[in-house]
Copies of this chain bind each other. A is one copy, B any other.
Amino acid sequence: MTNYPSILLSKAVDQFASLPGIGRKTALRLVLHLLRQSEADVEAFTSALNSLKQDVHYCRVCHTVSDQEVCPICQSHSRDRQTVCVVENVQDVMSIENTGQYHGLYHVLGGVISPMDGVGPSDIEIDSLVARIQPEAIKEVILALPTTMEGDTTNFYIYKRLQNLMASLPIGEGLKISQIARGVAIGNELEYTDEITLGRSIVNRVDFKV
């Protein structure tokens, strides 16, 4: 156990070290950096965090982080409002937005089903997703969850729930459920691609298009 020369220092280090991926050495380095800044700078740092926590909202519709009750994407009329992309978290929304390849809406689950971590379907925003999918308005749900066992479990659970929903519909009314393509990443050499990805990319090969 490290002895800190100051209790105040030790408390500040405790706080930083409680953040994910920040060890005590890094925490100490960050705290000593802040200590070298002016009081106004530290005040700006802490007030940005306080006002974030106090004033930020989660969008009532898609559950992404937003300054408003309903986020700009959910409010926008220039977006494709018939397509909903289901993602795990806010970072995923930002990553997909950065590609510039998607123009529909989002739904942020806030996690994936993970029995090992005690996360069940009711702990994440699946009910609100199903409630939101009104087949007369939504034509496609894209599942863009992590390509892990937990992501696959969640994909399957959502698929089943949406199928139940569709069973009650008149014949002909359809909801398309898709998932993001999986395979060898663009720019990768095959010899450095892991065996599972490479194997599945052969099994799940698609027609060559020019």
- A binding-site residues for B, Cβ under 8 Å: 2-9, 11-12, 14-15, 18-22, 26, 28-35, 37, 39, 42-56, 59, 64-67, 71-73, 89-91, 93-94, 97-98
Contacts and interface: CB of A to CB of B under 8 A. Distances in A.
B98 A12 contact: no
A61 to B, nearest CB: 13
A133 to B, nearest CB: 22
A161 to B, nearest CB: 25
Contact of A20 (B29, B52, B91): B29
Contact of A67 (B7, B28, B30, B45): B7
Contacts of A11: 48, 51-52
A3 B97 contact: yes
A5 B72 contact: yes
B45 A9 contact: no
A67 to B, nearest CB: 5
A35 to B, nearest CB: 7
Q: Which 10 A-B residue pairs are closest in the complex by CB-CB distance?
A: A46-B46, A42-B53, A12-B52, A15-B45, A15-B48, A8-B52, A6-B67, A12-B48, A11-B48, A8-B56
Contact of A29 (B2, B59, B71, B91): B91
B29 A21 contact: yes
B46 A19 contact: no
